[in-house]
A and B are shown apart, each in its own frame.
Chain A
Amino acid sequence: MLDRLVCALSLASLLLTASSGAALSQGTLRIGMTVADIPLVDGAPDQGTEGAKFAGYTIYDPLVSYDLSSATTAASIRPALAESWQVDPTDDRKWIFTLRRGVTFHDGSPFNADAVLFNLDRALDKNSPVYSASFDRQIRSYLPSLEAWRKLDDHTVELTTTQPDSLFVYQLPRLLIASPAQYQKVGSDWDEFRRSPSGTGAWRFGSMVPRQRLELVPNKSYWDTERVPKLDRLVLLPIPEASARTAALLSGRVDWIETPSPETVQTLEGRGFTVSTSAIPHIWPYHLSHLPDSPFSDVRVRRALNLAIDRDGLVELLHGLAVPAVGTVPPESPWFGQPTFKITYDPERAKALLAEAGYGPGNPLKVTAAISTSGSGQMFPMLMNEFIQENLRDIGVELNLEVFEWEALRSKRRVGAQAPENEGVTLLNASYSTQDPYTGILRYLTAAEIAPKGSNWGSTRDEEIEALVEELRAEFDVAKQDPIVAKIHARHVDQANFIWVVHDGGARALSAKVRGHVHAQSWFVDFSLITVEP
């Protein structure tokens, strides 16, 4: 009797599964995201890079974007809604952007200079009727140099920076352009706009159920004809729990998951799934306190700890989901330069450096690191920190780990090493994006950025770097910028200002049905060329 019941239930379940599967049209890509809620779809996505990846660059375009077409070269800046740009020859604070003609928003209204001003006003002009603090919070920090903006004609805008800043163009990709006409159409109400958003992106908003699902459909009249989506539908599901994402992929509920956990890699590959990684712009380091009472005010100690970490062993532990880091950017990057301090795994040399600095068996170095249990870009912090703790023990360094929840750690990062909240803490393990020279390198190194004003947590000061940064900001010839960044980076490595550990591999797991995926060296993805076989 029981057997019959089980058989009947099995048959019913199989029929149900089959019927629900048949309801999906061919060419639907279902993705399990790591976020717990659908990111904001109003053109100022929250939830970090994942928000921008799925709810930003799909529905909207920026003026300047990234070239995501290659898996083998770094994703460089490319024109998007701005066809071209130049610095005003008479005033190097003024940038002139020529806008693309013939582009329309999803609601049919034209894209023009007024639309650009509207989007800047909504985020940055508190006196504007379209201003919303929500946009301000998401956008202002990405445009630290922008001071003013004005329309020169219907297809030309002028953006003015607070001071000459040759790297300004790198700040623009997070400024996504939403439709002013749609905003007017929905009664000038941003909450209503979020229910029916309109951009110029390759994907139109389909439907959304908060915390459950975001559906996007192709924009068949997309201005970039080579990037018109081939899929019928893109379905994005928030699945924050790693094992649940893996189960969803294995059971066929989704076709693609972000960030599979290392221990599932063999299982996934064994069952025909592809685990894809790339050299994405990311670094997993320890920020070091350079304050006078910190042991890391001595460059020999900073170098010693860099030499004590078995990065290859750590990558093996992570089943290959990371790349060993010997600087903020990888050696093949044009920004790496030629540092004289070569970071390798050399415990004996590390011990010798520590001895030179006065540490040894009779006077062991004891330090405390603030780390998180998880968090955006933090990879697998507990596992990784414990591995490094063992590495450091081998050279006689006692690393005490103070564990915080991610947002608590971010609070500690924001206030700086000198703050009372960080008393006794001389290392802080927080990862970040290295997409461009400013966000990846400069902001951690200059006096002007010392926390809490900026991102320089450890109060790093270096006259040589300060001079190079000044030189870089005044160099508007793009070809001459990379060598200066490389000099800054080389000095950064030589001074061992951080302890560099690994770059995230940006792992994602894909079903064999997914075709056309290019794992760009970027946090972002171009979904236009992807197809899903039935």
Chain B
Amino acid sequence: MISYAIQRVLFALPIALGVSLVVFSLVHLAPGDPISAILPNEASEEMVIEARREFGLDRSLIVQYGIWLGKALQGDLGSSIGNGRPVLDEVLSALKHSLILSLAAGLLACLAGVLLGLLSAGLGRSRWQHVVRVVTITGVSVPHYWLAIVLVIVFSVRLGWLPPLGMSPDSSAGWRPDLNHLQFLVLPAIATAAIPAAIIARTMAASIQEILSRDFMITLRAKGLPRSRINVHVLRNAMPTTLAAIGLQIGNMLGGSVLVETVFAWPGAGFLLSNAIFQRDLPLLQGTMLALALIFVLINLLVDLTQSWLDPRIRRA
């Protein structure tokens, strides 16, 4: 297991390097001049040239990448072109907010996904199967941007039960896990969790059904094992696939949903990313994308290791 873990970590390093290159290239390939974004319309050509020099954008892309990567490896992601604040501080602050949202949404998605997956696969009462399938198909199909708006219209505008946006009351100095703050979390968490929950449910149901059709299930039944014991075997075999799906979904959520966070003005990584894109704030954009991509790589690594721990056949493959 230890040698497998070391091997996976070593594989992750070139992936991380590749990610940094892709992040840098994507940001620079996008149309639009970041200098135009920070200068007023009235700025002269000389001011544009000067600003480009100031931010090092007059150098070749390879040199820019080398400088950026060198600094990033030392934990310096530069400063935001827009507000001058250190990118690392901005990203960490936004990730903290996204973590709050993704933990709540992840918990919700796991609970709902596993429950719906079990019901859909027929381990529960079979009459629920069709209802659950409709729910999961709907969950996968509904755009979360639309769902977020509908939730706001119903629960904030019509019913007035929950706040429509933000993450804390006006008087609050910071987020705290009390009722006054948790009420701000409910709608974003539901909107963020809807698609992951449906994906987890469908993955789990498919995996269970695939296990149920295997030959060893006939053997287990022939040996006279009670249904509850058989279910334990089924779940044990279905979990690695489900876990992979959960890992991917949590990775996605941690990155913050750009659209959900924008609709709810939730100041997380997705909101930050959206802001950086529209303002062409290259350092902020690169820093945020790099942090999110590395988190994704890390979560995949953790999922790989957990899968191989649960199912030793993966290590031998």
Q: Which residues of A contact B (CB under 8 A)?
A: 9-10, 12-14, 16-17, 19-20, 23-24, 28, 30, 36-37, 40, 46-48, 133-134, 136-138, 140-142, 144, 190-191, 194, 207, 209-213, 215, 235, 237-241, 243-244, 247-248, 250-253, 404-408, 410-411, 413-414, 432, 439, 443, 452-455
Contacts and interface: CB of A to CB of B under 8 A. Distances in A.
B28 to A, nearest CB: 13
A235 B169 CA distance: 11
18 contacts: A17-B161, A23-B171, A30-B170, A36-B275, A137-B47, A140-B43, A140-B47, A141-B42, A211-B275, A251-B156, A251-B160, A406-B278, A407-B34, A407-B37, A408-B32, A410-B37, A411-B32, A439-B42
B314 interface: no
Contacts of B168: 212
Contacts of B180: 16, 19-20
A133 B54 CA distance: 9
B45 A452 contact: yes
B149 interface: yes
Contacts of A406: 278
B262 A240 contact: yes
A13 B38 contact: no
Contacts of A12: 179
A211 B271 contact: yes
Contacts of B144: none
Given A40-B83, A453-B45, A13 B183 contact: yes
Given A142-B42, A239-B165, A453-B44, A407 B265 contact: no
The 4 closest A-B pairs by CB, nearest first: A13-B161, A408-B32, A407-B32, A408-B31
A253 B155 CA distance: 13
Given A211-B267, A407-B32, A141 B44 contact: yes
B71 interface: no
A134 B267 CA distance: 24
Contacts of A443: 42
B204 interface: no
B39 A23 contact: no
Contacts of B39: 137, 141
Contacts of B34: 407
B163 A253 contact: yes
B158 to A, nearest CB: 9
Given A14-B160, A17-B163, 19 more contacts: A17-B160, A24-B171, A48-B40, A133-B54, A138-B40, A141-B39, A142-B40, A142-B42, A209-B174, A210-B90, A241-B262, A244-B262, A247-B149, A251-B164, A410-B33, A410-B37, A413-B41, A453-B44, A454-B44
Contacts of A36: 271, 274-275, 278-279
A411 B34 CA distance: 9
B153 interface: yes
A394 B262 CA distance: 39
Contact of A407 (B164, B262, B280): B280
Contacts of B174: 209
A137 B42 CA distance: 10
Nearest to B37: A407
Interface string B77-111: 00000111100001001100000000000000000
Given A142-B42, A407-B278, A37 B159 contact: no
Contact of B157 (A19, A141, A250): A250
Contacts of B84: 40, 134, 190-191, 194
A37 B45 contact: no
A190 B83 CA distance: 12
B306 interface: no
B36 interface: yes
Contacts of A210: 83, 85, 90, 93, 267
Nearest to B272: A211
B265 A144 contact: no
Nearest to B82: A46
A500 B272 CA distance: 36
A407 B279 CA distance: 7
A248 B170 CA distance: 13
Given A244-B152, A407-B36, A13 B162 contact: yes
A387 to B, nearest CB: 25
Contacts of A238: 265
Contact of B166 (A137, A194, A237): A237
A452 B39 CA distance: 14
A212 B265 CA distance: 8
Interface in B14-63: 30-34, 36-45, 47-48, 51, 54
A413 B31 CA distance: 13
Contacts of A240: 262, 265, 274-275, 278
Contacts of B163: 17, 20, 251, 253
B38 A46 contact: yes
Interface string B270-297: 0110110011100000000000000000
Contacts of B45: 452-454
B263 interface: yes
B31 A404 contact: yes
Given A40-B83, A241-B263, A251-B160, A144 B44 contact: yes
A19 to B, nearest CB: 8
A248 B153 CA distance: 10
Contacts of A207: 173
Nearest to B34: A407
B44 A20 contact: no
B265 A237 contact: yes
B30 to A, nearest CB: 8
B280 A253 contact: no
A414 B45 CA distance: 8
Contacts of A20: 163, 169, 180, 183
A411 B38 CA distance: 11
B167 interface: yes
A481 B263 CA distance: 48
